[in-house]
Structure 1
Amino acid sequence: MNDSTTVTPSTRPSDAVTGMVDHVLALAGTWTRWDGVPAHVDDRVYTPHKAIRRVADHLVDHLAELEARLAGEEPQPDHWHASATTTDADRAPFTAEDLDEARSRLTRLARIWANRLDALTDDQLDHSPGSGWSFRHLALHLTESTYYADAVGDLS
């Protein structure tokens, strides 16, 4: 992540997730100026809508994993097409209304994550049930979602 949120091993997991979303939404605030030309990064195509979709999907996917593991269930595998697919909807203009929707969606998802993570003890964060990363590691992994927004960049 950049400027305002530096993630270190001592970063509170909830702060890492909300900081990531703040970073994404700060960039998204410039995307109403998007000229319709997708960004080509690492053999993939990125647009404002795709970046928002991928961040939201990443948050939902790992939240479902966390909740399943806490409930003692095996997490459902995801079936996202991920960043390999760019849909017609991804190529649509990114309007002020789209920005408002993105702010509502991602802010709420970040708040759900923060509330859940803050309710867990350090032991639960570091020695999480089920197989996979610890919940602390999972939260820090979510910060990698800035990649999608950074691919589109600041369009100021």
Structure 2
Amino acid sequence: MTRHLTFDPAAPVSRPDVDDSPVTGLVPDSVRYVLERAETWLGWDGTAVLSDGNAWTPHKALRRVGDHLIDHLAEIECRLAGMPTIPDRWHGRKLTLDGDWARFTEADLDEATSRLGRLAVWYEARMSALDDNTLDHRPDPDTWTIREVVHHVANVRYYADQLDEPA
């Protein structure tokens, strides 16, 4: 069985809005939000939510959060090291894996809390070591600044919000 949310075709990804908030806390705050939401998924009934053209389950939402954090952290680290970034070849949210349909248990929540918590601390540590010039450097007109990348990554809340109950 599948629950449906209103389908809203995704617009092309544009530069994220940035503000003056310290970038060090953006990703950790979003990860806390996602994990608080994930606590409500214990005992999930196996019914996916259809939203934004995709089927969503607790495991898929958490997988997408982790993937997104890793992808962009790798991008940031390569840029800071002066290395080319590795293109993203993942299918992203369009792909629902067999494992995404598994029961969501306390052990799954514990694993996600550990994994995503460590990634959030990594973002916090990395961002705290960067000055504004580095955060705001734009290598070319089409490349996002690191500050823009971090603001974009902080939108991982989106994945958790896809499991909202339909109105």
TM-score, normalised by the number of residues in structure 2? 0.84
Q: For structure 1, which segment, 8-17 or 134-143, has the greater mean C-alpha deviation from structure 2 after superposition?
A: 8-17
Alpha-carbon distance in structure 1 between the residues aligned to 2:48 and 2:145: 35
Determine if contact 2:18/2:148 at 8 Å carries over to the other structure.
Answer: no
Determine if contact 1:69/1:129 at 8 Å carries over to the other structure.
Answer: no
- Alpha-carbon distance change, 124 to 8 in structure 1, aligned in 2, over 3 angstroms: closer
The answer on 1:152 being equivalent to 2:163 is yes
What does residue 153 of structure 2 align with? 142
Letter paired with 1:147: Y
Determine if contact 1:49/1:90 at 8 Å carries over to the other structure.
Answer: yes
Query: Which of 99, 123, 138 is the equivalent residue of 1:89?
Result: 99
The runs of at least 4 consecutive aligned structure 1 residues that moved more than 3 Å come to 128-131
- Alpha-carbon distance change, 75 to 8 in structure 1, aligned in 2, over 3 angstroms: closer
Structure 1 residues 27-106: aligned runs within 5 Å: 27-106=37-116
Flag the structure with larger Rg.
Answer: 2
Query: Which of 102, 118, 125 is the equivalent residue of 1:115?
Result: 125
Letter paired with 2:156: S
- Alpha-carbon distance change, 24 to 78 in structure 1, aligned in 2, over 3 angstroms: same
Letter paired with 2:158: Y
Secondary structure of residue in 1 paired with 2:83 = coil
The answer on 1:133 being equivalent to 2:140 is no
Alpha-carbon distance in structure 2 between the residues aligned to 1:13 and 1:132: 18
Secondary structure of residue in 2 paired with 1:32 = coil
Alpha-carbon distance in structure 2 between the residues aligned to 1:8 and 1:128: 14
RMSD: 1.6
- Alpha-carbon distance change, 19 to 52 in structure 1, aligned in 2, over 3 angstroms: same
Alpha-carbon distance in structure 2 between the residues aligned to 1:100 and 1:153: 21
The answer on 1:15 being equivalent to 2:33 is no
Question: How many aligned residue pairs are there?
Answer: 148
Determine if contact 2:23/2:127 at 8 Å carries over to the other structure.
Answer: yes
Percent identity over the alignment? 46
Secondary structure of residue in 2 paired with 1:33 = coil
Determine if contact 2:51/2:162 at 8 Å carries over to the other structure.
Answer: yes
Determine if contact 2:18/2:147 at 8 Å carries over to the other structure.
Answer: no
Letter paired with 2:96: T
Post-superposition shift, 1:153?
A: 3.1
Determine if contact 2:27/2:124 at 8 Å carries over to the other structure.
Answer: yes
